[in-house]
Amino acid sequence: MGDLGWIFISTLLINNFVLAYFLGLCPFLGVSGKLETSFRLGLATIFVMVITALCAWILNTYILIYAPYLRLISFIVVIASVVQLIEMAIKKLSPALFRALGIFLPLITTNCAILGLAIFATNKGYGLWQGLVYALGAGCGFTLAIVLMAGLREEVEMSNVPTMVKGIAFNLIVSGILSMAFMGFAGLFSAG
Amino acid sequence: MAKSEKQAYDEFIKGVWRENPVFVQVLGMCPMLAVTNSAINGVAMGMATFFVLMGSSFLVSLLKNLIPKQVRISCFIIIIATFVTVVDYVLLATLPGIHKELGAFIPLIVANCLILGRQEAFASRNTIRMALADALGMAAGFLFALVALGGIREILGEGKLFGISLFGDNFEPWVIMILPPGGFITLGLMLLFFNWLEEKKKKLDAQVAATEGSDL
Amino acid sequence: MSEEKQAAAEAGEPSSNRLVGTLAVAGLLSGIIIITVYLATFDTIKENKARELREAVFRVLPGVDKMQRFLHKEGALVVSHVEEKGEKPIYGGYDKAGKFVGYAIPNAGPGFQDTVSVLYGYKPAERVVVGMWILDSRETPGLGDKIYKDAEFVANFDHLSVDPKIVAVKKGRKAKPNEVDAITGATISSKAVVRIINEGNERWLPKLSKPGLEPALEKVEATPEKAEAEK
Amino acid sequence: MTQKDPKLLIQPGPQLRQQMTTPAVMRDVWYALAPTTLAGIWFFGIGALLLLITCIATAVLTEWYFSPEDERRYFLGDGSAILTGLLLGLTLPPALPLWMAVVGSAVAIGVGKTIWGGVGSNLFNPALVGRAFLLATFPIAMTTWTAPGDFFTMPSSIFALPLMTGVVDTVTQASPLGLMKFEYTDTGFVELLFGNTSGSLGETSGLLLILGGLYLWWRRDLDWRIPVGILATAMAFSLALYMMDSGRYPGPIFTALSGGMLLGAIFMATDPVTSPLTPKGIWIFAVGIGFLVVLIRVFGGFPEGMMYAILLMNAATPLIDRYTQPRVFGRGLDTK
Amino acid sequence: MNLLQQIKDSLSRNIGSFDHGVHPRHHKGQTEKLAIQRLPFGKRFVIPLGQHIGAPAKPIVQLGDAVKRGQMIAEPGGFVSVALHSPVTGRVTVIGSERYADGTFQDAIVIEADQYDPQQMDVNPIDWEALSMEDFIGEVQKAGIVGMGGAAFPCHVKYAIPDGSSIRYLLINGAECEPYLTNDHRQMMEHTEALLYGAEIVRQKLGAEEVVIGVEKNKPEAIVALQNAIKPGQPVRVAPLEVKYPQGAEKMLIKSVFNVEVPAGKLPRDVGVAVNNVGTIIAIAEYFQTGKPLIERVVTVSGPGVTYPANLIVPLGTSIREVLDYAGGLKDETRQVVLGGPMMGASIADLDAPMLKGSSGVLALTVHETERPQEYNCIRCGRCVEACPYFLNPARFARLAKARMYEEMAETYNVMDCVECGCCTYSCPSGIPIVQHIRTAKDHLRSMKGKVQ
Ligand SMILES: Cc1cc2nc3c(=O)[nH]c(=O)nc-3n(C[C@H](O)[C@H](O)[C@H](O)COP(=O)(O)O)c2cc1C
Ligand SMILES: Cc1cc2nc3c(=O)[nH]c(=O)nc-3n(C[C@H](O)[C@H](O)[C@H](O)COP(=O)(O)O)c2cc1C
Ligand SMILES: Cc1cc2nc3c(=O)[nH]c(=O)nc-3n(C[C@H](O)[C@H](O)[C@H](O)COP(=O)(O)O)c2cc1C
Ligand SMILES: Cc1cc2nc3c(=O)[nH]c(=O)nc-3n(C[C@H](O)[C@H](O)[C@H](O)CO)c2cc1C
Ligand code: SF4
Ligand code: SF4
Ligand code: SF4
Ligand code: SF4
Ligand code: FES
């Protein structure tokens, strides 16, 4: 249990996918303009990540031990199709949920944070529960980062950032400061 | 003939400088930021991307007429993933040290939007020759950006370039450069620098235009 | 030219058979390429991995020349040649004469940044740690990475008593045989290494065979890495 | 004498203004920091003075260089750059090489302030952005604490050549927090209060910091809720831990007086620009900082968490502000 | 209501005050001891047709007509509109565009005074007790009475209570929270009887139980004068109020006196209260006692730029210049002349513009008051937030308005609830003209709304 707790804290704060691993930067930089949207994108990401962890575990346990060379392709294909299936199911079962989250699903399925999650979880040799917690932590970490970023960006929208700086350059530097602030969590609960 | 050569050259130069995938188009950032804490890693990642981009551009433009529109993205991804897997295994077999450094980020080349983007925007619509020129340019531009970023981070972060010590023993390394915030901030500042160049150039052009106008 | 036109006409309404067919062909093609490369590189990769492991084991167990994997099964250590999922192995090291020297135990735990994977050598006869090596870590360059770059720190583990348990103390204060001089500026990472070894000891020491009763060196050809090395 | 027809000004109302202006607020903060600054120089010597001057000069020059030409006078006129330089200097170890201080101060103003659009637009505390950058860049130099010496000490490390390591030749000594975290030793209450301990230039004397805070509060330049909220939360949290294991966790008094707690709570968390606007938001902000400081100090990898706690809550400030708008007069009432 | 809520309520029942607001120095010393004087009649009187809120009045006189003092010269242009009367006996010389205080031109009737007329009026009391409610409202409209508190809102509209609502309290606004102004103060002391008489009329007509007169505590003489004049058993009481701006804003006043918040978008009558300024009530009293419609008002002439500050009865339509001249003229240091109080009033462009029904003061300000601090970026100090009596977020308004994000100002931050009291601008150390930004935003929003419809 302590192990699972640490996995969660570690991916949420210390090894945040966006701020420490540079994963999921396109949505992080591209969709963080509006708070509302960012939050929903975050939720959708958590969802897809958990599905991914599940798929990766199934693939790793039942298929890839026989054909390790298919890892990358099978991850991509399986994750994309499962998410697509779920998207269709959601659309049928709960149109409201679909409107809230569904539009983001295609955007996320092929991004590097999802693939990275599958690959890291595999490399770390996580079991089912560890993988799921890892995915949850990574997704929540992504949500935390993008929501903070969106808050900052909405605020900055109203202020007089020099035009030369505006845009990706500025967002990257803000991410850098945010990443620096998150360094404060390093070593959390491991000092012993 | 000469004309098409010039065209191909143009495509190449466009990718390296004018439409540099990183500094101008801001594509493919995730796989690059994570590994560019040294010039040599930048080279390795750049070369890996180079190979994947060239290979898939070649295949895609070769097969462009055979692939139906509806499944083209899936086909592109399969092609790209194939090349990435190949690179992964080859690196693991030949340069295990580098592979360890780049680690899990090699498979992530698949997700690099630059590669898929080039297939969609260029290779699937052009001749093999042009597709290769374009891929060469883009890959070279990407490589250039990775090495530049990795180089800066290595110089400040360790006082070295390609592992060669630059400032002597007493150098105080700028640890942040090798850490994630350093990546963000350095790339941000480099983009800022490019914006600044652009602005400067625009001003200069405007001045030139103004003086020419007055001459008339 | 006419072919192209035809293709264009078809592109409007390709049958679903054709779509599936294309994908299947693409998959097949890519499968063939991947398997070819996989087979071509398989041996080298395997050898690289084995060599890496061997080097690490030899590093943490000085004087060792041969090794084999152990698993803990049904209350005893048994030699294992194939990887099994979910089971964590340790390694036994033997000298040139085939005499048992000690164990190389891998363990991992949280460090300053991310998980730190440690391999350490343990001699059950003297109840001492005789070597430590970091297999994987993301500790801060220049600080935390001293846990493997700083020879002085690594040397702490050359002859380190595990009784009652290993303790990290401030640099220069090492007095007892079970104490480790921590790295200044990287106390957390140093303590993490110590903690990881202590945890490894807790898990493994009770499971080890009685000194002198360790599994004997089995037929060397059986271990694939040995086979490679002999080539 | 009466004028025939004076040239009348047309100005939008209201015609009256209270007397306080932004530059005056900034000047008040200088005055409030003066005792602490002088004490720092007294304890750590002329070297400390040089360090502070370097920080301030770099801050002002950077601000001047990056501000738009036609607005330079106005940008510098508010005096906030001097304050940023001073506060950064006060958070540095006294033996830090001057060239590093230059880097930190330039980053503080350049990355922490001007790219955001100058005073008032930045969302992170500029001085702390500079300091966080320095800590992550030169972790060893930034955690090498020297013991207070006599007035004429000038560590040779501060004159290290640019890009080169400074060799600290004065007596180094772990800070009270370092001692606590890694050796579980307490430092006495009296030392903490009067500041004869090692640590950052400006954080050593609790008493003078509190005095400065009272001055600012009296001048209405500072929102009392922030320091009170931070200290109360941090002390409550550490009291709870202390009661669980007093040998291992620091007590509430030590928590309140050690490290950057007071400097941060009184002068840095209160930076109006980077703290929430709404009363409820300010409480959330303060409680968040108090909690994070103790979390990082006790369970995290760093002996001191004030800087990170403030930066993290700075990041959350826009969100806090957004969700704590006060209830508008006449809205949200129970409809009868 | 549960017990907890009750305890909370009784604790928060800080009668006599409201939350937030500002404390500007009140500068009333210059005029508060000066008895009301009458300004001599001038020569030329300009009566703009649209000097109240609502539809402009319609002229009923012709060019060249002779008019008597108090004669109706324009009739109401609709229900939300009032009549206009001639302030003097004289002749109509112009019906057309005239300069307004803000520099624009407005339709007006100009009357040249008859220099030789004694300007006396007949006394024609009106038996208000006999009037039906409808007739009463008609009379008030005919008398041209508008709110004298500054907004110049037609008074009779307030009295037209729709079915279903009823008024329990008549709240008389004697707060006079604007610095410098003392006209309400003097009227409460000198016209106490008229005030109480008017209060009785309105109370009876509206069927209210009680009259409450809210007066800030910095006018103790007024409070004493009123208390002495109130007869035992009369349903009138004086509520002393904390000295704080904008104590006189009606919703703040209601909060201070009754601890009731008028919901946003609702009117005082929705909580059973009718609010009238002191001057308004006195004007009503005078009309029913003597038949004199609203043709003059009490004005405070003050400020450091005025030679002899005074409280004057000014015939409406008199030019500002004449008022100032009577007060000894402007000093050389004068930089700005303000019509109304220094917080809500507007600076004027032309001294020849006329005094209006809503002009409570003429203030001459010097460099010391008019110099504006250098404007800096907002430093989010929160002083404006702590000042806004409506609990809005002025800092956010300023930022959003600068970024032209007007829609968000309305949707998320309720900018339309702002009454432009000026507390935010007053308290801002960065010298940001927040109210100005808010006005820009409101104008924009209104014009957008117009377009959509
Ligand atoms: C940027 C940065 C990176 C750090 N990295 C590590 C690290 O990897 N491992 C570690 O033990 N301490 C690291 N530290 C230092 C710890 O925060 C802590 O200060 C240190 O372990 C205290 O040790 P000392 O008491 O020996 O100085 C780092 C500090 C900073 C500022
Ligand atoms: C900010 C503000 C301050 C006000 N201050 C006063 C005041 O001090 N005295 C006053 O009579 N009316 C004041 N008013 C006007 C009142 O809100 C209200 O309109 C008036 O009392 C109604 O009476 P009337 O219609 O008779 O003028 C103020 C309005 C605002 C918006
Ligand atoms: C259409 C309309 C109807 C109004 N009806 C009433 C009313 O019935 N009772 C009332 O007290 N005020 C009424 N008012 C007046 C306002 O509440 C307020 O007193 C007026 O706008 C001036 O207020 P101020 O002086 O505080 O700015 C009405 C205003 C408008 C625009
Ligand atoms: C009470 C108070 C505290 C301040 N604290 C800081 C601070 O910690 N760091 C800083 O750079 N500026 C500080 N300032 C100055 C100023 O607000 C700061 O430079 C702005 O963040 C620049 O936009 C402070 C100002 C005041 C009034
Ligand atoms: S699209 Fe993909 S590869 Fe490109 S920058 Fe975004 S995340 Fe990175
Ligand atoms: S603001 Fe002016 S008009 Fe309004 S109540 Fe106060 S003094 Fe009267
Ligand atoms: S002017 Fe508007 S926003 Fe400003 S204090 Fe008054 S009500 Fe609030
Ligand atoms: S008072 Fe001025 S500076 Fe302070 S928060 Fe409000 S607008 Fe900003
Ligand atoms: S999200 Fe990482 S590459 Fe796009």
Q: CA–CA separation, E189 vs E212, rounded Å?
A: 16
pLDDT confidence of residue D73: 66
Q: Which of A26-30, C213-217, D49-53, E266-270 has the lowest mean pLDDT?
A: C213-217
Q: What is the mean pLDDT of residues D211-220?
A: 94
| CB E76 within 8 Å of CB E53 | no
Nearest CA to ligand 1 atom 18: D302
The closest CB to that of D301, out of A170, A176, A188, belongs to A188
D139 to C170: CB separation less than 8 angstroms, yes or no: no
Beta sheet of E58-59, edge-to-edge order? E58-59, E72-75, E84-85
Model confidence over A151-175: pLDDT tens digits? 999 999 888 888 888 888 999 999 9
Residues 6+ apart with CB under 8 A from D158: D47, D50, D51, D95, D96, D97, D98, D166
Which 3 state secondary structure label does DSSP give C117? strand
Cis peptide before B21 (omega within 30 of 0): no
Q: Residue D143: which pLDDT band, with cuts at 50, 70 and 90?
A: confident
Residue E280 pLDDT greater than 90, yes or no: yes
Regarding the beta carbon of B180 and ligand 1, being less than 6 Å apart is answered: no
Task: Using DSSP bridges, classify how beta strands C160-161 and C167-169 pair: parallel, antiparallel or unpaired.
Answer: unpaired
Under an 8 A CB cutoff, do B171 and D111 touch?
no
Q: Which residue of B has its CA nearest to D139?
A: B175
At E2, the amino acid letter reads N
Contact E154, E52 (CB under 8 A): yes
Last residue in a domain, options D126, D156, D173: D173
Domain CATH code at residue E49: 3.10.20.600
Q: Is residue E97 part of a domain?
A: yes
pLDDT tens column, A34-55: 898 899 889 989 988 999 999 9
Q: What is the CA radius of gyration of chain C?
A: 25
How far is it, in rounded angstroms, from Cα B212 to Cα B143?
39
Q: Which residues lie across from E169 on neighbouring strands?
A: E210, E273
Contact A80, A104 (CB under 8 A): no
List, as ranges, residues 72-101 from B with C-beta within 8 Å of D: none
- The token duo for D298 is 């006790």
Distance of CA B85 to the CA centre of its chain: 19
Is residue E95 left, alpha or beta, with left meaning phi > 0 and alpha meaning psi from -120 to 50?
A: beta
User: How do strand C90-94 and strand C100-110 relate by DSSP bridges?
Assistant: antiparallel
pLDDT digits (tens, 9 = 90+) for B14-59: 777 777 888 877 777 877 788 888 899 899 999 999 999 999 999 8
Longest dimension (CA), chain D: 84
List the beta bridge partners of residue E212: E171, E237
Give CA–CA dist A16/B46, Å, rounded.
25
Report pLDDT for A80: 83
**What's the rounded Cα separation, in Å, for the pair B133 and C90?**
52
The reply to whether D75 and D155 lie within a common domain is: yes
- Of E245, E180, E244, E189, give the one whose Cα is nearest residue E31: E180
Domain of residue E67 covers 41-110+293-369
Res A101 pLDDT > 80: no
Do C142 and B175 make contact, defined as CB atoms within 8 angstroms? yes
Nearest residue on chain E to D118, alpha-carbon basis? E377
Q: Which ligand is nearest to the CA of E387?
A: 7
Test mutation, B165, B167, B172, chain D, max D CBs within 10 A: B172
Terminus-to-terminus CA distance in chain D, angstroms?
62
> D204 and D160, same structural domain?
no
Confidence of residue C13 (pLDDT cuts 50, 70, 90): low
* D164 and D250 assigned to the same domain: no
Domain match, E132 and E186 both: yes
- By C-alpha distance, the chain A residue nearest C168 is A192
Confidence of residue E61 (pLDDT cuts 50, 70, 90): very high
Task: Give the pLDDT mean for C170-186.
Answer: 85
ipTM of the complex: 0.86
Q: Regarding predicted confidence, which is higher, B164 or E185?
A: E185
For residue D155, the one-letter residue type is P
What are the pLDDT digits (tens) for C111-144?
Answer: 888 889 999 999 988 899 999 999 988 888 878 8
CA–CA gap between residue E313 and residue A56 (Å, rounded): 89
The answer, yes or no, to whether any atom of ligand 1 lies below 6 A from the CB of D133, is no
Split at pLDDT 50, 70, 90, the class of C222 is: very low
Would you state the pLDDT for residue D2?
40
- Is the minimum CB–CB distance between A163 and chain E shorter than 8 Å? no
Question: Which residue, E369, E395, E425, sits at the end of a domain?
Answer: E369
Q: D202: domain range?
A: 175-323
Measured by CA distance, the residue closest to atom 1 of ligand 9 is: A24
Q: Which residue of B84, B89, B191 is in closest CB contact with A169?
A: B191
Domain C-terminal end among E290, E321, E345: E290
Same domain? E358 vs E425: no
Distance separating alpha carbons of residues A76 and B24, to the nearest angstrom: 29
Note whether E405 contacts A157, CB cutoff 8 Å. yes
Q: Which of A53-80 are b and which e, b meaning 16 or more Cβ less than 10 Å from the residue's Cβ?
A: bbbbbebbeeebeeeebbbbbbbbbbbb
Phi, psi of E103 (to 5 degrees): 100, -15
E298 with E191, same domain? no
Q: Coil, strand or helix: which one is A15?
A: coil
Average pLDDT for A132-141: 96
Is pLDDT above 60 for A191?
Answer: no
The confidence score (pLDDT) of residue A1 equals 39
Taking an 8 Å cut-off on Cβ atoms, the answer to whether B71 and C140 are in contact is no
The vertex-C98 CA angle with C97 and C103, nearest 5°, equals 125
Cα gap B80→E143, rounded to integer Å: 88
Q: For chain E, what is the domain count?
A: 3
Q: What is the pLDDT of residue D192?
A: 77
Residue D334 has pLDDT above 60, yes or no: no
Instruction: Give the CA dihedral B184, B189, B192, B196, nearest 10 degrees.
Output: -170
- For D13, the token pair is 């109302």
Phi, psi of D206 (to 5 degrees): -60, -40
Ligand 4 atom nearest to D122, measured from its CA: 23
**Chain E: residue whose CA lies nearest to A161:** E403
Residues from chain E that touch D326, judged by Cβ atoms under 8 A, are 385, 391, 393
Q: How far apart are CA B75 and CA C39, in angstroms?
A: 24
Could you give the CA distance from residue D53 to residue C175 in angstroms, rounded to a whole number?
Answer: 45
Touching partners of E (3+ C-beta pairs < 8 Å):
A, D
Q: Tell me the pLDDT tens digit for each residue of E292-343.
A: 999 999 999 999 999 999 999 999 999 999 999 999 989 888 989 999 999 9
C231, pLDDT greater than 70: no
Name residue E241's beta-bridge partners. Answer: E216
Contact A115 B29 (CB under 8 A): no
Asked if residue E308 is part of any domain, the answer here is yes
Is the Cβ pair A112, B111 closer than 8 Å?
yes
Residues D133 and D195 in one domain: no
Closest CA to D207 of D263, D164, D168: D263
Closest Cα in chain C, distance from residue B95 (Å): 10
Instruction: Kindly tell me whether chain C and chain E come into contact, counting contact as 3+ Cβ pairs under 8 Å.
Output: no
**What average pLDDT does the structure give for chain D?**
88
Same-domain pairing of E315 and E207: no
Probe site for chain D from E365, E391, E409 (most D CB atoms < 10 A) = E391
In this prediction, residues B156-172 reach a mean pLDDT of 88
- Confidence band (pLDDT; 50, 70, 90) for C76? confident
Task: Decide if D333 is inside a domain.
Answer: no
Q: A111 in ligand 5 pocket by Cβ < 6 Å?
A: yes
Domain-embedded: residue E3: no
Judge whether residue D218 has pLDDT over 50: yes
Would you place residue D246 in the very low, low, confident or very high pLDDT band (cuts 50, 70, 90)? confident
Q: Specify if E177 maps to a domain.
A: yes
CA distance B170 to chain D (A): 5
What pLDDT band is residue C25 in, cutting at 50, 70 and 90? confident
What per-residue string of b and e applies to E302-315 under the rule 16 or more CB within 10 Å gives b? bbbbbbebbbbebb
Give domain status of residue D330, yes or no.
no
The chain D residue lying nearest A34, using CA atoms, is D319
Rounded-to-integer distance, Cα D20 and Cα D216, Å: 13
Give me the long-range contacts of C155-159 (CB less than 8 A, separation at least 24): C156/C132, C156/C180, C156/C181, C157/C120, C157/C129, C157/C130, C157/C131, C157/C132, C157/C197, C158/C130, C158/C131, C159/C128, C159/C129, C159/C130
Pull the structure tokens for residue D264: 């941060």
Q: Where are the domains of chain A?
A: 2-191
Domain end, chosen from D152, D173, D194, is at: D173
Place of tokens 């925007």: B121
**CB contact burial E92-113 (16+ within 10 A = b; e otherwise):** beebeebbbbeeeebbbbbbeb
> Do the chains C and B touch each other, judged by at least 3 C-beta pairs below 8 angstroms?
yes
Pseudo-torsion of CA D52, D54, D57, D59, nearest 10°?
-80
Query: Under a CB-based contact definition with an 8 Å cutoff, are residues C181 and C156 in contact?
Result: yes
Q: What is the share, in percent, of chain E residues with pLDDT greater than 70? A: 96
Query: Is D15 inside any structural domain?
Result: no
Same domain? D145 vs D272: no
Kindly state the helix (H) or strand (E) to which residue E300 belongs, with its residue range: strand E296-302
Of all atoms in ligand 6, which is nearest to the CA of residue E149? 3
Q: E378 CB less than 6 Å from ligand 8?
A: yes
| Radius of gyration, CA atoms only, chain A | 17
Q: Which of residues 14-33 of D touch E (CB under 8 A)?
A: 14-18, 20-25
| CA of E403 vs chain A CAs: smallest distance (Å) | 5
Paired tokens of A120: 């890291």
Q: Which of D173, D201, D226 is the last residue of a domain?
A: D173
Cα dihedral C169, C172, C173, C175 sign:
positive
Q: Residues with Cβ within 6 A of ligand 9?
A: A 23-27, 111-113; B 30, 111, 113
Whether residue D124 sits in one domain with residue D156: yes
Question: Alpha-carbon distance E91 to E43, whole Å?
Answer: 11
- E12 is a domain residue: no
Distance from CA of C130 to the nearest CA of B (A): 26
Contacts of E377 in chain A (CB under 8 A): 159-160
For chain D, percent of residues with pLDDT exceeding 70: 94
Name the residue with tokens 């000004």: D9
Residue E297: per-residue pLDDT:
95
Percent of chain D past pLDDT 90, that is, above it, reads 52
Residue E26 resides in a domain: no
Q: Which residue has the tokens 């109302």?
A: D13
Residue D95 located in a structural domain? yes
The ligand placed nearest to the CA atom of residue E299 is 6
CB A6 to CB C86 under 8 A? no
Query: For C73, what's the count of Cα atoms within 13 Å in the CB-facing half-sphere?
Result: 11
The residue whose C-alpha atom lies closest to atom 15 belonging to ligand 4 is D80
Mutation choice for E interface testing from A157, A158, A159 by most E CBs within 10 A: A158
- Mean pLDDT along residues E370-392: 90
Host H or E run for residue C32: helix C16-60
Residue D3 falls within a domain, yes or no?
no
The interface residues of chain D toward chain E in range 59-78, judged by CB-CB distance below 8 A, are 74, 77-78
B175's enclosing H/E stretch is: none
**Is residue D193 located within the same domain as residue D289?**
yes
Report the SS3 class of residue B148: helix
Between CA D6 and CA C226 the distance in angstroms is 105
Chain C contact partners (≥3 CB pairs within 8 A): A, B, D
Cβ of E298 closer than 6 Å to ligand 8, yes or no, is no
E24 part of a folded domain:
no
Chain C residue numbers touching A6 (CB-CB < 8 A):
110
Q: Whose CA is nearest to atom 8 of ligand 8?
A: E378
Phi first, then psi: give them for residue B186, nearest 5 degrees: -60, -45
SS (H, E, C) D18-71: CCCCHHHHHHHHHHHHHHHHHHHHHHHCHHHHHHHHHHHHHHHHHHHHHCCHHH
Ligand 7 site, residue E422, Cβ cutoff 6 A: yes
Contact B179 C140 (CB under 8 A): yes
